[in-house]
Amino acid sequence: MSRNAFFRRDSTLLPRLLSLIYNDTTEFYPLRTTAIEEKSVQGNLLNQDNFYIDQMKRDPTDPELSKYAIVTINDQLTNARLQGCTLARVGDINPWERRELWAIGLALFHKLMNYIWGLRIKHYGSIRVPGSLAIKEDEDLWLV
């Protein structure tokens, strides 16, 4: 049976599916690129202000800006800098200035790399051991 045969059997299903797909819209906020460096905590703070306050025209004193967490999935260095932003602004006046909004997530690529590293450490062994990940006789886990 082809895919289209299913939709021909129930002629009301396709319009309902299409209305669900095309009537559900997502708001997009395209942002300009900036020349602000991001390799420091201060640069990250300036970038956040540029994106949210300058480009998106959000008011940092507005409680609505601090109502929801901003999920951010980055590499570990950027996550460390975001934590540095939070620590640098501990005593500020509102949640935006204290940078309490960021919900930091682990990037899936880095999580996968951590799993692979753990798998290698656990199952490397010797070439003489069945199921080992070693491929040469002279390889040693501790020398690699």
What is the per-residue pLDDT across 59-106, written as a single tens digit (0 to 9) for each? Answer: 988 888 888 888 888 888 888 898 999 999 988 988 999 999 888 887
Contact predicate 142/124, CB 8 Å: no
pLDDT given at position 29: 75
Query: Which sequence spans correspond to the domains of the chain?
Result: 3-106, 108-144
Question: 105 pairs with which residues across the strands?
Answer: 73
The residue that leads in pLDDT, 9 or 28, is 28
Instruction: Report d(CA 79, CA 104) in Å as an integer.
Output: 7
Is it the case that residue 3 has pLDDT exceeding 70?
Answer: no
Joined tokens for residue 82: 């975001």
Tracing tokens 């289209």 back to the chain, one arrives at 4
Which amino acid belongs to residue 34? Answer: T
Measured from the Cβ of residue 140, the count of other Cβ atoms closer than 10 Å reads: 10
Whether 78 contacts 47, CB under 8 Å: no
Chain mean pLDDT for the chain: 79
pLDDT digits (tens, 9 = 90+) for 93-138: 889 999 998 888 878 888 888 888 888 877 777 777 777 777 766 5
Q: Residue 54 above 90 pLDDT?
A: yes
In sequence order, the 6+-apart residues with CB closer than 8 A to the CB of 6 are 13
β-bridge partners, 102 = 70
Instruction: Give the CA angle between residues 71, 72, 73 to the nearest 5°.
Output: 125
Tell me what pLDDT residue 144 has. 47
